[in-house]
């Protein structure tokens, strides 16, 4: 594989999970054996409340997979204007990873310090994207609520 990646000019991009894999992982995240059981699950109903999903297409499953399971392999270590520490903050809400903090040991001061460092680069007054900065604020606020 190393030789193939050398010839290719870098690592191969991970394959995107299939719709079946996404469904199965989301069902497992809610302790359900299948989609029929998932539709009846109270926690799942709360998780999708207020959103209009068409579960016949792949995109809603992709969204729920990102929220409740993990960031798909093919979306890790991305590069771009809305990407911080390999995570596209406009697609994935992963505050601990974005702020590079340990959930078990981080204090409120650690959270605020990490936010300030990111704000220096991503604040709209410093030439950053307003949407990215707003996501960072949401992430900070959600982490501080748990402290």
d(CA 100, CA 8): 31
Q: Give the pLDDT confidence score for residue 70 in this predicted structure.
A: 87
Give 88's strand partners.
83
Q: How confident is the model at residue 136 (pLDDT cuts 50, 70, 90)?
A: very high
Integer Cα distance of 83 and 14 in angstroms: 18
CB neighbour list of residue 31: distance below 8 Å, 6 or more residues apart: 41
Residue 119 has pLDDT above 70, yes or no: yes
All residues at 6 or more sequence positions from 97 whose CB lies less than 8 Å from its CB, including other chains: 85, 86, 87
β-bridge mates for residue 84, sequence order: 87
Q: List 83's β-bridge partners, or say none.
A: 88
pLDDT at position 11 is 63
β partners of residue 87: 84
Q: What angle do CA 19, 23, 27 make, to 5 degrees?
A: 175
For the segment 54-58, the average pLDDT, to the nearest whole number, is: 94
Question: pLDDT confidence of 68, banded at 50, 70, 90?
Answer: confident
Question: What is the 8-class DSSP label of residue 87?
Answer: E
For position 9, what pLDDT does the model report?
64
Query: What integer best gives the mean pLDDT of the chain?
Result: 89
User: Band of the pLDDT at 128, cuts 50, 70, 90?
Assistant: very high
Confidence of residue 74 (pLDDT cuts 50, 70, 90): confident
Q: Is the pLDDT of residue 8 over 60?
A: no
Q: How many CB atoms lie within 10 A of CB 124?
A: 12
Superfamily grouping for domain 83-145: DnaJ domain (1.10.287.110)
Report how far residue 115's alpha carbon sits from residue 133's, in angstroms, rounded to the nearest whole number: 10
- Give residue-wise pLDDT tens across range 14-47: 678 899 999 999 999 999 999 999 999 999 998 8
For the cut 80, the answer to whether the pLDDT of residue 2 exceeds it is no
Query: What is the rounded average pLDDT of the residues 116-122?
Result: 95
Domain boundaries, the chain: 19-75, 83-145
Question: What's the rounded Cα separation, in Å, for the pair 12 and 30?
Answer: 32
Query: What residues have CB less than 8 Å from 40, skipping those under 6 apart?
Result: none
């Amino acid at each position: 594989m190393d030789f193939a990646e050398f010839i290719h000019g870098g690592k191969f991009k991970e394959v995107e999970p299939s719709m079946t894999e996404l469904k199965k992982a989301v069902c497992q995240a809610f302790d359900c054996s299948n989609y029929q059981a998932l539709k009846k699950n109270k926690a799942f109903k709360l998780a999708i409340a207020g959103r209009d999903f068409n579960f016949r297409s792949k995109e809603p499953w992709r969204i729920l997979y990102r929220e409740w399971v993990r960031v798909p392999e093919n979306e890790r270590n991305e590069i771009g204007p809305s990407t911080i520490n390999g995570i596209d903050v406009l697609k994935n809400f992963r505050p601990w990873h974005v702020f590079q903090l340990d959930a078990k040991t981080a204090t409120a001061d650690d959270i605020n310090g990490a936010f300030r460092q990111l704000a220096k680069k991503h604040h709209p007054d410093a030439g950053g994207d307003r949407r990215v900065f707003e996501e960072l604020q949401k992430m900070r606020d959600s982490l501080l609520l748990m402290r």
